[in-house]
Amino acid sequence: MSARFEPITGRYLHLDIEGVPHRVYVEEAGQGIPLLCLHTAGSDTRQFRGVMNDARVRERFRVIAFDMPWHGKSSPPAGWQNDEYRLTTRGYAAQVLAICEALELERPVVMGCSIGGRIVLQLALDHPRRFRAAIGLQSGAHVDPYYDVSWLHRPDVHGGEVCAGVVSGLIGPNAPDAERWETLWHYMQGGPGVFKGDLYFYKIDGDIREKIAAIDTSLCPLYLLSGEYDYSCTPAETLDFAARVPGAQATIMSGLGHFPMSEDPQRFLSYLHPVLDRIR
């Protein structure tokens, strides 16, 4: 194989989020309509490598992804050692809006998966005019706890192993092996307590079941793409959700699980292209 660079570039952005200085790692590829991508809990922007490397997407879209603070190559803010990390709705929305402002993105499309899929709902609800469209991957309004998350952060259990072990079954059974284990590797590299801290938003603070019917899809079109094998955000929940939000468009992705863009990028793109084609 001859050596080659991918068309993705990454840089570090210094900005304040809720008045706190941060150094955030941002990747981008392509030109055109800004498409801001939000990764899942406990992972990082590498999940969107398939989307960024896709020539058809890059033709019309400037794809941007950032590692959330505490994730990937974005450090926690100074003083982190004295904090227990906990993601909240307010803090997460502030991150996304701060990035949009710092990069001067004009009405970007916002696409997020899992916790990212949850926050795009909140953004569509609270800031519909700031976004051209919202794409929720594995987007649910709420998830009932189904295991004890305290196992994810304790000194006598390896955090990387247990976080990846917990999420491993969320990947569709026919995902290509290399992409499956790449996806799990991202989880294995997460910092101590970060996945658990993200789940505070996903399972507790970010419950928006009572609010979703107020999303105005005439101002911010909402597309939902959910993998068939996801038992965290199930297809049934996605379809129920779509039925409660007038104008929301839901598609169930056959064979895919909770990390569609990362576990099987090519199969995911076959579902994403038709959605992107509708966005002008």
Partner 1 sequence: MSEMVGWLDRLVKAVNEDPHLTQRGRHVDCLMLVDTGATQHLLDIRRGRIESLSHGPFVMPRWDLALRAPLDEWLAFWAPLPAPGHHDVFALIKRRVLRVEGNLHPFMANLFYFKAVLAAPRPAQPMPADIAGALQ
Q: Which residues bind partner 1 (CB under 8 A)?
A: 146-148, 151, 156-158, 161-162, 164-166, 168-170, 173-174, 228-232, 234-235, 255
> For residues 158 and 211, which CB has a smaller minimum distance to partner 1 in the complex?
158
Where b means 16+ CB within 10 Å and e means fewer, 51-65 reads bbbbeebbeebbbbb
* Shortest Å, Cβ 107 to partner 1: 36
> For residues 234 and 262, which CB has a smaller minimum distance to partner 1 in the complex?
234
> For residues 79 and 173, which CB has a smaller minimum distance to partner 1 in the complex?
173
Indicate the helix (H) or strand (E) that contains 167: helix 159-167
> For residues 126 and 182, which CB has a smaller minimum distance to partner 1 in the complex?
182
Rounded CA separation 162/165 (Å): 5
Beta strand 109-113 with 61-66: parallel, antiparallel or unpaired?
unpaired
> For residues 7 and 255, which CB has a smaller minimum distance to partner 1 in the complex?
255
What angle do helix axes 177-188 and 159-167 make, rounded to 10 degrees?
A: 140
> For residues 27 and 230, which CB has a smaller minimum distance to partner 1 in the complex?
230
Whether 102 and 108 have beta carbons less than 8 Å apart is answered as no
Rounded CA separation 65/57 (Å): 14
* Shortest Å, Cβ 275 to partner 1: 20
* Shortest Å, Cβ 162 to partner 1: 6
Whether 258 and 230 have beta carbons less than 8 Å apart is answered as yes
Whether 92 and 204 have beta carbons less than 8 Å apart is answered as no
Rounded CA separation 81/77 (Å): 9
> For residues 206 and 227, which CB has a smaller minimum distance to partner 1 in the complex?
227
* Shortest Å, Cβ 40 to partner 1: 16
Rounded CA separation 41/211 (Å): 22
> For residues 110 and 115, which CB has a smaller minimum distance to partner 1 in the complex?
115
* Shortest Å, Cβ 48 to partner 1: 24
Structure tokens at 7: 């068309």
* Shortest Å, Cβ 256 to partner 1: 10
95 phi and psi angles, rounded to 5 deg: -60, -50
* Shortest Å, Cβ 174 to partner 1: 5
* Shortest Å, Cβ 155 to partner 1: 11
- Nearby residues of 113 by Cβ (< 8 Å), 6 or more positions away: 38, 39, 40, 47, 137, 138, 258, 259, 260, 261
